[in-house]
Amino acid sequence: MSHETTSNIQAVPPLLSVQGLHVEYRTRKGPVRAVDNVSFDIQRNEVFGLAGESGCGKSTIAQAILRLHKPPAHITDGQVLFDMTDVLKLDKKALQQLRWEHIAFVSQSAMNALNPVMTVGEQVIDVMQAHRPVHRKQARQRARELFDVVGIDPDRIDSYPHQLSGGMRQRAVIAIALALQPELIILDEPTTALDVVVQKQIMEELKQLKDEFGFSALFITHDLSLLVEFSDRIAIMYAGEIVEIGSSRQIFTEPQHPYTQRLMGSFPTLHGERKAFLGIPGSPPNLLSPPTGCRFHPRCDVAIAGLCQEVHPDLFTVGDKHHAACHLVTEKDRDFQQS
Ligand code: SF4
């Protein structure tokens, strides 16, 4: 985790700026607000982590950034600025150029991302030739190099996806993602389907590749210990909203939102001491009719009676570029101002 670089890279304009993004699923029962007024920036060469329980909206954001979402999902408001260009306004051709060339996407299931009737090498070559005037022989040589880079024997480029292990398939997808040296790679639960040892190996390799290739990453996972280990900054999502955002160190050592605190207590750290896990009582709300006030209030054991059920908390500054959406934080600040 490169905390030292975080302060330096914050000063330059962001590579990606998501502003006021709203995504809803139009269902027969009514609109489900999967992503509700979400804003964050990703700097160049930064790993930005997005965490939260299943269904909190993190994968919907990943898909919306590249407009990969399909009906009934609809982007109803907001901006996705990549290098100052609004992705949501691009025509089809410009969008196709953006995908893989500038922003690559690595999803949870390599088997779904790969074409089962093409060799994995062909699929790398395909992506290269679709975007660049590269000769087939050169593309094949580049595919071999990329396989070597991601830790697969280059001779395996002639294998079909079903002939590779789960870890190798995921590495092959990462090789495709690296093929055009994009500025941003979206990693949507990239290792969730793999066993923990392979998971750790692939994350370590991705970190090295990031340093070597110099890309930024949006890293999405429900596994906070992995996220803290590999991200520079982190946003915590709950029920479609960002409830806390800060550096990995701030989120790890001084989480302010009760949900973040509970989430941190639910995972073992990769290198830390053994401890009892707290868990989070209850389950996330139905977004067809989310709770009034703070959406976490039905599960929050420190909710303020008469306030949390009624008033929606805004993101409040709690430290240097550290924000949390909780009335307890504003209450603390009021006490501080009055004293
Ligand atoms: Fe809990 Fe209230 Fe803070 Fe929500 S705003 S997390 S209910 S204390």
For the stretch 123-159, pLDDT in tens is 999 999 999 999 999 999 999 999 998 989 999 999 9
Q: Report DSSP letters for 192-237, one per residue.
A: TTS-HHHHHHHHHHHHHHHHHH--EEEEE-S-HHHHHHH-SEEEEE
pLDDT at 281: 83
pTM of structure? 0.90
Give the Å distance between the CA of 253 and the centre of ligand 1. 19
Checking if the pLDDT of 78 tops 80, the result is yes
> How many Cβ atoms from other residues are within 10 Å of residue 81's Cβ?
17
Give the Å distance between the CA of 327 and the centre of ligand 1. 6
Query: pLDDT per residue over 231-265, tens digit each?
Result: 999 999 999 999 999 999 999 999 999 999 998 87
pLDDT at 276: 53
Give the Å distance between the CA of 50 and the centre of ligand 1. 20
Give the Å distance between the CA of 302 and the centre of ligand 1. 7
Give the Å distance between the CA of 328 and the centre of ligand 1. 6
Give the Å distance between the CA of 329 and the centre of ligand 1. 9
pLDDT at 318: 94
Strands (E), the chain: 16-27, 30-42, 47-51, 73-82, 85-86, 103-106, 184-188, 216-220, 233-238, 241-247, 316-319, 322-324
Cβ-defined contacts of 300-306 (< 8 Å, 24+): 300/258, 300/259, 301/258, 302/258, 302/328, 304/328, 304/331
Give the Å distance between the CA of 294 and the centre of ligand 1. 6
pLDDT at 82: 98
Q: Whose CA is nearest to atom 1 of ligand 1?
A: 303
Q: Which ligand 1 atom is at minimum distance from the Cα of 302? A: 8
Query: pLDDT per residue over 8-51, tens digit each?
Result: 444 678 999 999 999 999 999 999 999 999 999 999 999 999 99
Mutate to test the pocket of ligand 1, among 328, 330, 334 (most ligand atoms within 8 A of CB): 328
Query: pLDDT per residue over 265-276, tens digit each?
Result: 776 655 555 555
pLDDT class of 336 with cuts at 50, 70, 90:
very low
pLDDT class of 196 with cuts at 50, 70, 90:
confident
Q: Which protein residues touch ligand 1 with a CB less than 6 Å away?
A: 257-258, 294, 296-297, 300, 302-304, 308, 313, 326-328
Q: Which ligand 1 atom is at minimum distance from the Cα of 313? A: 5
- Average pLDDT of span 203-226: 90
Q: Whose CA is nearest to atom 7 of ligand 1?
A: 297
- Average pLDDT of span 281-292: 92
Query: pLDDT per residue over 307-332, tens digit each?
Result: 999 999 999 999 999 999 999 987 65
DSSP state of 321: T
| Crossing angle (nearest 10°) for helices 166-178 and 136-149 | 130
